[in-house]
Structure 1
Amino acid sequence: MTVMAERTAHTPQMTVEEFEEIAKAAEKLNDAVRFEFIDGRIGVKGVPDGDHNEIVGWLLEECVQSGNGLRPYTSDLGLEVEKYRTGRAKPDLAFAPKRSFTGQGDWADPAPLAMVVEVTSYDSDTNRRDRQDKPAAYAAAGIPVFLLIDRDACTLTAYSEPSSEGYHLTRTAKFGEKLALPKPVGIELDTEELKDYIR
Structure 2
Amino acid sequence: MTVEPFPQWLRPPPGGFVAEDLDRLPDLPPNTELIDGSLVFVSPQAQFHALAVSMFETALRRLAPTTARIRREMTVTLDRNQRPEPDVIAVRAERAGGPELTTYVADDVLLAVEVVSPESRSRDRERKPQLYAKAGISHFWRVENVDGRPVVYVYELDPASGVYALTGIHHDRLKLTVPFEIDIDLTEIDRL
Asked if these proteins are the same fold (TM beyond 0.5), I'd say yes
Aligned residues of 2:17 and 2:38 also touching (Cα < 8 A): no
Per-residue deviation, residues 21-80 of structure 1 (Å, max 9, x unmatched): 367425x2533xx222224544222242333222122112222222523211111x2211
Q: Secondary structure at 1:53's aligned position in 2? A: helix
* Correspondences of 1:108-119 after superposition (within 5 Å): 108-119=104-115
Partner of 1:30: 29
Q: 1:189, CA displacement in angstroms? A: 2.1
Per the normalisation by structure 2, the TM-score is 0.74
Aligned counterpart in structure 2 of residue 189 of structure 1, from 184, 188, 192: 184
Q: 1:172 to 1:151 in 2, by over 3 A?
A: same
Per the normalisation by structure 1, the TM-score is 0.72
Q: Does 1:71 align with 2:69?
A: yes
Q: Secondary structure at 2:126's aligned position in 1? A: helix
Structure 1 or 2, whichever has the larger Rg, is 2
Q: 1:150, CA displacement in angstroms? A: 1.0
Q: Does 1:91 align with 2:86?
A: yes
The separation in 2 between residues aligned to 1:59 and 1:89, in whole angstroms, is 18
The separation in 2 between residues aligned to 1:90 and 1:193, in whole angstroms, is 25
Aligned counterpart in structure 1 of residue 51 of structure 2, from 23, 32, 54: 54
Aligned residues of 1:143 and 1:162 also touching (Cα < 8 A): no
Runs (5+) with no aligned partner, structure 2: 1-13
Percentage identity across paired residues of the two chains: 23
Bigger shift: residues 128-137 or 183-192: 183-192
Figure out how many residues of one structure are paired with residues of the other and give that number: 174
The structure 1 segments of at least 4 consecutive aligned residues displaced by more than 3 Å after TM superposition are 13-16, 39-42, 103-107, 162-165, 194-197
Runs (5+) with no aligned partner, structure 1: 1-12
Q: Secondary structure at 1:158's aligned position in 2? A: strand
Q: Secondary structure at 2:41's aligned position in 1? A: strand
Bigger shift: residues 103-112 or 136-145: 103-112
Aligned residues of 1:38 and 1:137 also touching (Cα < 8 A): no
Q: 1:48 to 1:181 in 2, by over 3 A?
A: farther
Aligned counterpart in structure 1 of residue 152 of structure 2, from 152, 156, 179: 156
> Aligned-residue CA RMSD in angstroms?
2.9
Per-residue deviation, residues 129-180 of structure 1 (Å, max 9, x unmatched): 1000111111111111111111257521111125574212331122xx2222
